[in-house]
Amino acid sequence: MFSFPFSNQDFLEPRCVWVNGPVIVGAGPSGLAAAAGLKEQGVPYVLLERADCIASLWQKRTYDRLKLHLPKQFYHLPKFPFPEHYPEYPNKKQFIDYLESYANHFNIKPQFNECVESAKYDEGCRLWRVKIVSTNGSTRSEVEYICQWLVVATGENVERVMPEIEGLQNFGGEVIHASDYKSGENFRWKNVLVVGCGNSGMEVSLDPCNHDAKPSMVVRSSVHVLPREIRGKSSFELAMLMLKWLPVWLVDKILLFLTWMILGKIEKYSLKRPSVGPLELKNTQRKTPVLDIGALEKRFSFSFSFSFFFFFFFFCSSSCWLMRN
């Protein structure tokens, strides 16, 4: 990588840097995996990360009780399995430790505090122009990386979006977003309203339950809740196994039948199932099924309308047109 003196006036400000290989944006699990792959092939690259650490979503925006909800063999990065002694569902700390070891193993050194502001493909010179703002303490500088290839690994869940809800500013209680939630410890004996029935909403609701708080949940759409495990086997693993031989619609039917055997009718929790099956919905609308790890058993109340509570939590969506982490 070296500074590149372009003759075009456009390229003079900010400073231009030629990258002899791809620029990867984002040092989450995907960016690290891309970097490791390139390293293995001896391809030079630059890995840009706006935060000051790898896997910033996991390190800064997740709650204490978080565990992977897929068994570890489905979640390790290429060519570097989880350590043997890790449990089937590693917790947040174990996962972050694993990612740190991954980066060390492949000698991946991201450039931290470098936020990509824009990336444009210049048809004329067939190169990417990636503008970044770099911060170092109170110093802020702008750089433009010029490269042939761009890998965008900025994640689906890293942006937090709060919905605008009329009258919320007059609410006297505390309002927080799921990405700021850490533990139910502070909510002992409190009424808590959880907005949104994604995996975040369901899992974090368990915390107040376990701290003698009284959570309720607002669910605005139909949702697929599946048990995390069916007869001791991960539902996800079972689905992957069946998909080798059966079409998606049939696997969906079997999954829903098994779910019904374990959880019973979901309507008894005031929830509604979508008419499309869970895998098909994921494939077509990117809506992830919720994997129940015991929240339904707690039978806290689900409702389809707002009511007055002391606390609000917002559980974010990965869908870019709505709310995000």
Ligand X SMILES: Cc1cc2nc3c(=O)[nH]c(=O)nc-3n(C[C@H](O)[C@H](O)[C@H](O)COP(=O)(O)OP(=O)(O)OC[C@H]3O[C@@H](n4cnc5c(N)ncnc54)[C@H](O)[C@@H]3O)c2cc1C
Binding site for ligand X (CB under 6 A): 25-31, 48-51, 55-57, 62, 66, 68-70, 75, 115-116, 153-158, 200, 325
Nearer to ligand X, 75 or 310 (CB): 75
Q: List the one residue from 56, 94, 199, 205 that touches ligand NAP (CB under 6 A).
A: 199
Q: Binders of ligand NAP among 62-81, rule CB under 6 A?
A: 66-69
Whether the CB-CB separation of 130 and 144 falls below 8 Å is answered with yes
Q: Which residues pair with 16 in a beta bridge?
A: 144
Reading the block at residue 254, the tokens are: 């079997």
Which of ligand X, ligand NAP, none does 163 bind, CB closer than 5 to 8 A by kind?
Answer: ligand NAP
How many angstroms from the chain centroid is the CA of residue 178? 12
Return the structure tokens found at 276: 């499309």
Residue 161's binding partner out of ligand X, ligand NAP, none, with CB under 5 to 8 Å set by partner kind: none
Structural contact between residues 131 and 146, judged by C-beta atoms closer than 8 angstroms: no
Which DSSP string do the residues of 63-85 spell out, in sequence order?
-TT-B-SS-GGGTPBTTBPPPTT
- Residue 16 or 316: the one with the smaller Cβ distance to ligand X is 316
Instruction: Write the DSSP assignment of 236-256 as a string of letters.
Output: HHHHHHHHTTS-HHHHHHHHH
- State which residue, 115 or 242, has the beta carbon closest to ligand X: 115
Contacts of 247 (CB under 8 A, 6+ apart): none
Residues 216-255 that bind ligand NAP (CB under 6 A): 218, 220-221
Regarding 302 and contact with ligand NAP (CB under 6 A), the answer is no
Whether the Cβ atoms of residue 57 and residue 325 lie closer than 8 Å to each other: yes
Residue 25 interacting partner from ligand X, ligand NAP, none (CB closer than 5 to 8 Å by kind):
ligand X
- DSSP 8-state class, residue 20: S
- Quick one: DSSP state of residue 84? T
Question: Which residues, numbered 269-298, are part of the site for ligand NAP (CB under 6 A)?
Answer: 288
Q: How far is the CB of 111 from ligand NAP (least distance, A)?
A: 26
d(CA 78, CA 29): 10
Residues 141-160 that bind ligand NAP (CB under 6 A): 157
Q: Which is nearer to ligand NAP, 39 or 67 (CB)?
A: 67
Of the pair 113, 191, the CB lying nearest ligand X is at: 113
Output the smallest distance, CB 181 to ligand NAP, in A: 11
